[in-house]
Structure 1
Amino acid sequence: MARIPTREIAERPEGYGGPNLSPVGLELRPHELAGNVYALMANIPPKDNNGLVAGRDAALVIDAGITPEMSARIQETTATLTDRPVRYLVNTTYHGDHTFGNAAFPDEVVIVSSRVNKENMNDLAFEKQVRSGNMYGDAALLDTITEWRRPDLVFDSYAEIDLGGRLVELHHFGPGNGPGDTVVYVPEARAAWTGNFLCHAGIAHMLLQGGPVPYAESLRRMRAALPDLETLVPGHGPMGDAREAVDTLLAYLERLHDDVEASVRAGRSLEETYAACADPWAEGLDRRLVAAIEGYQVPRDRAVQGMLALCRDLHRLNVLATYRLYRAG
């Protein structure tokens, strides 16, 4: 079995676009999932989503934004939704679009994430370099980031935070998009904020620092641990049905593994492997995904075509990352 890389793959397929992570034009739209439990959804996909959970005594924010200015807007939004003080900030991943805003939160806010996420927050220059490729002309906004504030409190596989009459569960099920993906689950709402670990069914995920086999094992652990989970709030893209999303991603990962493993064993080149791996988006987007993105502040045709191009780009990236991993293994 190939070992999980210690750093995200920096190579990208020829012609790759990737997700637009620039905060320019980004607004957060609150969706209340239960009393004082909010999904903060980006108005333009696939820019970053966030979350807010409040209890009797305190509030918790999910992910910090890509710049200090975006972090300030997240905090302004939360202040309109609850008068409870923000005491906790959870990072679902170490990636800069979720963590560069950490330093803009007050010092008394406790930042929490998996131990593995913290361990991967060790090279700010490299992280800024990688994320700048997804800023679409706005990379200069990252110049203001001179400090990468790391989590204050870490856990290995499970932790609980009591906000006062409201329990929030934190889970690390194993490697997925990255090695330390953290899932935030609110049992009362049957909702989870999944970061880059799990998106709406039909959206391509990114295998940036791992492989399809351990990713699939992590998803099965999530399914077993959270049988009552209904709604997922991903780090990017629309909310969706959690069970459907897990099943869809598992099927994709299993097919990706089989196709790339067979290609490597056959001695095919990377270009030959691209051609040999089935593209689930060759015929377009799933109609349920089309319906889910129709509510965005983007013309329908533009949103659909943009998401389709992104999914096909990400699939090629997954083929490349898996090919390099299996060749190295």
Structure 2
Amino acid sequence: MSIIRTRVADDTWVFTSELYLEVNAGLVVTPEGGILIDTLPFPSETRQIIEFAERICPAGIKYVINTVSHADHVYGSYLFPEAELIAHERCREMLIQYAYQALEEAKEHTPELREVELRLPKVVFNEGMLIRLGGKTVHIFNTPGPSPEVCAVHVREDKVLFASDLMMPVPLIASPFSDIEQYKRSLANLHDYNLESIVQGHGDILLRGEVTSSINASIKYLNDIQRVVDELMASGATKHDLLQHDIEQFGRSRIPLGGIVQQFHASNLLFLWEKARQRQRASRQAMRPGLN
């Protein structure tokens, strides 16, 4: 199955997987070489990127950026052995801690992944990093929230932002590594950039007229689900009551990503519900009189 290829600027391309949740990767082409932003989950898909890059970028891929430690973004990195692999320092730590075992388990269930080798980034940074290559300036910066290591990549001259999993058809916070308050701050910080388009971690590319409203809608969604969970918890409602609040009640469509966004939404609600229950229990324990 062919990947979907979209040109978002004269020298910048997006590649979308048709095999796994419409995950996106990107390529910035310069006369001095290319900058690849993430890879696609399966070797057959990433090889299609390589074939395309060989045609339009004869100087080869100089840099590969891992914007997050998730398998669907990093598994193709090993196919670029000559390129410098770049990531946030926390991304490298999380790959070492979690990715090796996860890959071995994935290989047992998915034969195409059996050739995949985990490659660790050698160039790491903390808050941000600039790449200047062939007239392009690429700014990589940390955008924690979905996970502490998530980074966005801003192609300044093209006014394109590769937002990784910070921007999704619906924000996904149902992870032990997520932080909803950091998530909202990272989203709000995107307003500081003059953007013509945003490439989401998964799903459609957001064009100029959608950029500001989509950022604001994501912040509003996170605020709204947080408020609803707190109100239901305070009123003595049940999980069943909670799950009656479907994604469309929060201004989001249930259509993107083959409809799996509704499952993401339900996971978000349950995740926040458990967090609220933990806070409630801790508060009750703190109010108990001490033993004499």
Give the match for residue 113 of structure 1.
87
Gaps of 5+ in 2: 280-292
Give the match for residue 156 of structure 1.
126
| Secondary structure, aligned partner of 1:218 | helix
Structure 2 residue corresponding to 1:182, chosen from 151, 170, 173 = 151
| Secondary structure, aligned partner of 1:47 | coil
Give the match for residue 282 of structure 2.
none
Shift of 1:37: 1.6
Distance 1:109 1:307, change over 3 A: closer
Give the match for residue 279 of structure 1.
246
Structure 2 residue corresponding to 1:324, chosen from 253, 256, 274 = 274
Deviates more, 1:67-76 or 1:50-59: 67-76
Structure 1 residue corresponding to 2:141, chosen from 142, 154, 171 = 171
| Secondary structure, aligned partner of 2:51 | helix
- Bigger relative contact order, structure 1 or 2, given CA contacts below 8 A and separation 6+? 1
Q: Which has the higher helix share?
A: 2
| Secondary structure, aligned partner of 2:16 | strand
Aligned length: 273
Q: Aligned equivalents of 2:27 and 2:256: distance in 1?
A: 28
Deviations 1:155-212 (A, max 9, x none): 222110011211111111322x22211111111111111121113xxx2221133143
| Cα RMSD, aligned residues only | 2.8
Q: For residue 150 of structure 1, what is the amino acid of its counterpart?
A: L
| Secondary structure, aligned partner of 2:188 | helix
Q: Aligned equivalents of 2:224 and 2:77: distance in 1?
A: 37
Normalising to structure 1: TM-score of the pair?
0.74
Q: Residue 91 of structure 1 contacts residue 98 of structure 1 at CA under 8 Å; is this kept in 2? A: yes
Give the match for residue 283 of structure 2.
none
Normalising to structure 2: TM-score of the pair?
0.82
Shift of 1:35: 2.7
Give the match for residue 178 of structure 2.
210
Distance 1:40 1:67, change over 3 A: closer
Gaps of 5+ in 1: 1-24, 287-303
Shift of 1:306: 6.5
Q: Aligned equivalents of 2:150 and 2:250: distance in 1?
A: 31
- Among the aligned pairs, what percent are the same residue? 21
Give the match for residue 229 of structure 1.
195
| Secondary structure, aligned partner of 1:120 | helix
Q: Residue 171 of structure 1 contacts residue 184 of structure 1 at CA under 8 Å; is this kept in 2? A: yes
Q: Aligned equivalents of 2:184 and 2:225: distance in 1?
A: 11
| Secondary structure, aligned partner of 2:260 | helix
Shift of 1:282: 5.4
Give the match for residue 287 of structure 2.
none
